[in-house]
A and B are shown apart, each in its own frame.
Chain A
């Protein structure tokens, strides 16, 4: 009875709230998603198309196997992917970066402490004459905060295998280990000089296709990944993953058996080729992708063209069971941060669970509940103020609800993330609504 009357009183307020928010955001794709903003809408749309990517963490192992100045492009390849995963939200603690040489500080580098990537200079094909005639806007992929975990002669087959399988000497610090688990999505990118079923490490050692398959099989048995994406940029790259039989492994290659992988245009200023074609195409794709993108691996796979690379893009999905059109690139190149609401740690856990479950991110959004789960780590700066603004004023409402009970209101929880002002408006509305609720509850009680 009382709860019913409270519900009846609260409903119009909630509706009003939703309406106000919806008008504030343009264009609101779905009424339920209005509370979580455009990103949430996109995410919800993707989630509707695909089974939820339910991994709990992301790891990236990025390896450049060749040293020396003239292999600049391999360092730049790896740093390009490093830049991409950093930009899409993978924290440095979850990236194992292996660089066999330091080209940025090489005496031969005319731009000290920079590793340039040709991206941004031009589109495919017509570039040759524009190199001279136009000012370049090449990308500095070295930056100021690169954390190299294995460098120089530390980049060996042994260390690579140890990182994958997690079998380290006890003295190896945590920063040099991949601490993944059965819920982790792992990205492995490897580039260098290779051939049929091998890739060279430092001109001294070879990593064989059998070694890779063995390491991945161990990772599977030890529960070190949920899904694994192996990207190989070398000559005859597709042979390197040809022996992998472990489930959940997707592999991409810059070239097929018998083909060479080629470098992208020569930069006459730096005096060599800055990047390889496959990685250039990959970077070209990812520079248009942000942390909230719904771009899928299917879209990524369609950008590689023979006319641009002079080699055929290869991939292997035989061990991978999700349709590629449903796998977002951010499942591997981005990051997920799960906020778990633990029972007992917060007095209103039960309320929140009623509101929308709280474990699956998209699930909570669909029910328009206030679950604050599954926010992407990379956009933390956008999240922070809004998320911080919403609960604080709402605390008053919650306090009022303490005696009132669950199930009403709640629309204010998912504050818009897009801008501070929207967050402020939402907070204001929440304050008003909360106050009215509190006032109404008090009246009822009295």
Chain B
């Protein structure tokens, strides 16, 4: 963008852009504030969840299992008693298959293997085997199927799911009773598949292997289905699913964890269906009801705001509690790790939720024993199956981009997306402002030589940014795959992630501080040669060049960040929002003003740079979502941040945030 010669009239769009860029800093700050305040205000826009899908006919029927199939519960209790002593032995699976075939269900096995990355097991390949049974709908057309999943640790070992024998027998007997009843249900229009997923190799991995085999969708890299020659029975296209996750035989509470891979969510109606049926038919409290109090910093802030504006303190605290619950949900989405075993279903376009039975104990309410929990849960599940069976194919009308505010309210995508766009726009604005400064520094009529130098400088800046990205990505990759490489090499692995984290931090600091040191050295060499006016002029010129070069670096980096984050917002809005929030203040504060940095300004820039360092950001994120104490400088947490969590979070952290932070640290520390 070149400033036109004086006297020539600018076009309106140019004038508008000029006006905007002249006030770029103020506007950026304003956008950033809007992004932050907008997020804090989002609970004000919350809507009560209600069913969008009429075809679910939710609440239009009553459970019939108790009155029509009392024998199902007796059979289930017998099965539970028979299974419990054989937990984690091969006899468990044999008895289960026997009961299934006795009930007239087709039964199939699906072996699979999981390669663990590091962790307590020390890596290596684990072998497990899923079991599933198919109940054909007597009058349905066999084109559609519902899935009920009960993760059970079938092997003698366990990884991330600590299940007791009572928990396993509760889960299995519950669904067994339901299937015995469904055999004679006159309304069943879709086939029902019951998957006893082998959770010994991991809660999510077992389901991922099964879904991948059933729908022939790609599984995660470390999960491999081994179902080859053995028959793998299928029913119709999977439409909806419910995962019943029982860790213990006594039920003290219920939870429906929603975010799956990369924060992807099942349809809101699916959540609400299970929520309303379990609330209605199971006498166990629901996690998050009543809403827990907000974390202390938020509560203090709410009290202060209420005092300052004369608002009702209770209202302010309730708002803070909603904000905390929403932030926790968004944070879980941003991390991108699946919270429940329903996550793999989303990759196959199946709407599924996890119903987690909490062992309970708290709240003063007595927890349900196995037999009443079995009966009540079977009733709730029967209604859920009936509603899904009544549905025509899939959900047609429900939200799948939303953020839960508490357990009964939500904010939908058209409301929260503005909050993401605001800090992204601040990044774009900063890039444009830097470009404008660059053009102005070149002068009104850039000579040909200057233009050539300009081109060379641009190339150098882009190369430097690319190098930074490559360095960071290589460091991340080395850290992530380090344990596996070490395991393959046969070395000790326990200390390796920590060592990897240390190496990563060192690389990072070298990148950031190395620039600084170079500048300092350069400055010293400059200061040595203070002398003649000609030398001073040359020095000034050099300094100007260096500033221009750094600006270009920042422009390239900022533009790339804005583009990547904008694309990311479509996949994982929460991650894009968190990254944009981290990058925008850095972009505003930590840019070297050529020859204009006061010492105060530089101090502020350094402060911002420190505040937005990875440990500080992690601490802030955990404080907002209410886990501050747990996160307080735990090496494990820092390690998680350095390694990344989901693939997207990993890529954003290593590819965008860290190079940007390092580059701008060099600008902030290096100064003029």
Instruction: Tell me if A54 counts as interface (CB < 8 A to partner B).
Output: no
- Which of the 9-residue segments B109-117, B133-141, B525-533 touches chain A? B133-141
Cα A68 to Cα B188 with chains together (Å) = 15
Residues A248-271 near B (CB distance < 8 A): 266-269, 271
Cα A108 to Cα B386 with chains together (Å) = 9
User: Using Cβ atoms and an 8 Å threshold, which residues of chain A touch B62?
Assistant: 268
Known contacts A68-B392, A107-B141, A112-B139: does B186 contact A273 (CB below 8 Å)? Answer: no
A45 to chain B, nearest CB (A): 47
Instruction: Tell me if A442 counts as interface (CB < 8 A to partner B).
Output: no
Size of the chain B interface, CB-CB below 8 angstroms: 19
Residues A67-100 near B (CB distance < 8 A): 68-70
A138 to chain B, nearest CB (A): 15
Contact B188 A69 (CB under 8 A): no
Bitwise, B42-70 to A at CB < 8 A (1) or not (0) is 00000000000011010111100000000
User: Using Cβ atoms and an 8 Å threshold, which residues of chain A touch B386?
Assistant: 271
Instruction: Tell me if B389 counts as interface (CB < 8 A to partner A).
Output: yes
Instruction: Tell me if A375 counts as interface (CB < 8 A to partner B).
Output: no
Contact B55 A70 (CB under 8 A): yes
Cα A261 to Cα B66 with chains together (Å) = 36
Cα A70 to Cα B61 with chains together (Å) = 13
Contact A70 B57 (CB under 8 A): yes
Instruction: Tell me if A110 counts as interface (CB < 8 A to partner B).
Output: yes
Cα A57 to Cα B281 with chains together (Å) = 56
User: Using Cβ atoms and an 8 Å threshold, which residues of chain A touch B57?
Assistant: 70, 271-272
Question: Closest residue to A108 on the B side, CB-wise?
Answer: B189
Contact B55 A107 (CB under 8 A): no
B302 to chain A, nearest CB (A): 41
Known contacts A106-B189, A107-B189, A271-B187: does B390 contact A69 (CB below 8 Å)? Answer: yes
User: Using Cβ atoms and an 8 Å threshold, which residues of chain B touch A436?
Assistant: none
Interface size class of A (residues with CB under 8 A): 10 to 19
User: Using Cβ atoms and an 8 Å threshold, which residues of chain B touch A268?
Assistant: 60-62
B184 to chain A, nearest CB (A): 11
Of A69, A108, A109, A273, the most chain B CB neighbours within 10 A belong to A108
A266 to chain B, nearest CB (A): 5
* Partner of A68 from B55, B60, B187 at Cβ < 8 Å: B55
Bitwise, B391-424 to A at CB < 8 A (1) or not (0) is 0100000000000000000000000000000000
Cα A106 to Cα B61 with chains together (Å) = 17
User: Using Cβ atoms and an 8 Å threshold, which residues of chain A touch B389?
Assistant: 108
Question: Closest residue to B188 on the A side, CB-wise?
Answer: A107
Contact B54 A70 (CB under 8 A): yes
A195 to chain B, nearest CB (A): 15
Cα A197 to Cα B141 with chains together (Å) = 37
Of A70, A112, A269, A272, the most chain B CB neighbours within 10 A belong to A70
User: Using Cβ atoms and an 8 Å threshold, which residues of chain B touch A271?
Assistant: 57, 60-61, 187, 386, 390
Cα A433 to Cα B390 with chains together (Å) = 70
Contact B189 A266 (CB under 8 A): no
Residues A359-399 near B (CB distance < 8 A): none
Cα A268 to Cα B188 with chains together (Å) = 15
User: Using Cβ atoms and an 8 Å threshold, which residues of chain A touch B187?
Assistant: 107-110, 271
User: Using Cβ atoms and an 8 Å threshold, which residues of chain B touch A68?
Assistant: 55, 392
Residues A98-145 near B (CB distance < 8 A): 106-112
User: Using Cβ atoms and an 8 Å threshold, which residues of chain B touch A266?
Assistant: 59-60
Cα A442 to Cα B55 with chains together (Å) = 81
User: Using Cβ atoms and an 8 Å threshold, which residues of chain A touch B186?
Assistant: 109-112
Question: Closest residue to B64 on the A side, CB-wise?
Answer: A269
Contact B60 A108 (CB under 8 A): no
* Partner of B390 from A70, A267, A273 at Cβ < 8 Å: A70
Cα A99 to Cα B60 with chains together (Å) = 24
Cα A68 to Cα B54 with chains together (Å) = 11
Contact B140 A107 (CB under 8 A): yes
Residues B459-473 near A (CB distance < 8 A): none
A267 to chain B, nearest CB (A): 8
User: Using Cβ atoms and an 8 Å threshold, which residues of chain B touch A273?
Assistant: 60
Question: Closest residue to B392 on the A side, CB-wise?
Answer: A68
Residues A230-287 near B (CB distance < 8 A): 266-269, 271-273
B332 to chain A, nearest CB (A): 34
A129 to chain B, nearest CB (A): 13
Contact B61 A69 (CB under 8 A): no
Cα A106 to Cα B54 with chains together (Å) = 17
Of B137, B187, B389, B390, the most chain A CB neighbours within 10 A belong to B187
Cα A110 to Cα B68 with chains together (Å) = 14
Residues B62-120 near A (CB distance < 8 A): 62
Cα A245 to Cα B581 with chains together (Å) = 64
Contact B54 A107 (CB under 8 A): no
B405 to chain A, nearest CB (A): 29
User: Using Cβ atoms and an 8 Å threshold, which residues of chain A touch B60?
Assistant: 266-268, 271-273
Cα A278 to Cα B141 with chains together (Å) = 34
User: Using Cβ atoms and an 8 Å threshold, which residues of chain A touch B188?
Assistant: 107
B549 to chain A, nearest CB (A): 62
Question: Closest residue to B383 on the A side, CB-wise?
Answer: A271
Cα A183 to Cα B147 with chains together (Å) = 60
Question: Closest residue to A105 on the B side, CB-wise?
Answer: B139
Contact B392 A107 (CB under 8 A): no
Question: Closest residue to A106 on the B side, CB-wise?
Answer: B189
Of A69, A107, A111, A266, the most chain B CB neighbours within 10 A belong to A107
User: Using Cβ atoms and an 8 Å threshold, which residues of chain A touch B137?
Assistant: 107
User: Using Cβ atoms and an 8 Å threshold, which residues of chain B touch A109?
Assistant: 186-187
Question: Closest residue to B138 on the A side, CB-wise?
Answer: A107
Cα A266 to Cα B61 with chains together (Å) = 8
Contact B61 A108 (CB under 8 A): no
Cα A267 to Cα B61 with chains together (Å) = 7
Cα A267 to Cα B60 with chains together (Å) = 7
Cα A110 to Cα B392 with chains together (Å) = 17
Cα A24 to Cα B204 with chains together (Å) = 87
Cα A112 to Cα B61 with chains together (Å) = 17
Cα A286 to Cα B237 with chains together (Å) = 46
User: Using Cβ atoms and an 8 Å threshold, which residues of chain B touch A108?
Assistant: 187, 189, 389-390
Cα A392 to Cα B392 with chains together (Å) = 62
A134 to chain B, nearest CB (A): 15
Cα A69 to Cα B389 with chains together (Å) = 11
Cα A266 to Cα B62 with chains together (Å) = 11
Cα A115 to Cα B503 with chains together (Å) = 73
User: Using Cβ atoms and an 8 Å threshold, which residues of chain A touch B54?
Assistant: 70
Residues A27-69 near B (CB distance < 8 A): 68-69
User: Using Cβ atoms and an 8 Å threshold, which residues of chain B touch A112?
Assistant: 139, 186
A254 to chain B, nearest CB (A): 18
Cα A9 to Cα B54 with chains together (Å) = 78
Question: Closest residue to B55 on the A side, CB-wise?
Answer: A70
User: Using Cβ atoms and an 8 Å threshold, which residues of chain A touch B392?
Assistant: 68-70
A103 to chain B, nearest CB (A): 12
User: Using Cβ atoms and an 8 Å threshold, which residues of chain A touch B141?
Assistant: 107
Question: Closest residue to A72 on the B side, CB-wise?
Answer: B57
B67 to chain A, nearest CB (A): 11
Contact B55 A69 (CB under 8 A): yes
Cα A153 to Cα B54 with chains together (Å) = 21
B108 to chain A, nearest CB (A): 24
Question: Closest residue to B137 on the A side, CB-wise?
Answer: A107
B182 to chain A, nearest CB (A): 13
Of A111, A269, A271, A272, the most chain B CB neighbours within 10 A belong to A271
B144 to chain A, nearest CB (A): 10
Bitwise, B118-162 to A at CB < 8 A (1) or not (0) is 000000000000000000010111000000000000000000000
A204 to chain B, nearest CB (A): 13
Going nearest first, the 4 A-B pairs with the smallest beta carbon separation are A271-B61, A107-B189, A110-B186, A107-B139
Report 8 cross-chain contacts, Cβ distance below 8 Å, ordered by A residue.
A69-B189, A69-B392, A70-B57, A107-B189, A108-B189, A110-B186, A266-B59, A272-B390
17 additional A-B pairs beyond A107-B188, A112-B186, A266-B59, beta carbons within 8 Å, are A68-B55, A68-B392, A69-B189, A69-B390, A70-B55, A70-B390, A70-B392, A107-B139, A107-B140, A107-B141, A107-B189, A108-B389, A108-B390, A109-B187, A111-B186, A268-B60, A271-B386
Give me the interface of B with A, judged by CB distance under 8 Å. 54-55, 57, 59-62, 137, 139-141, 186-189, 386, 389-390, 392
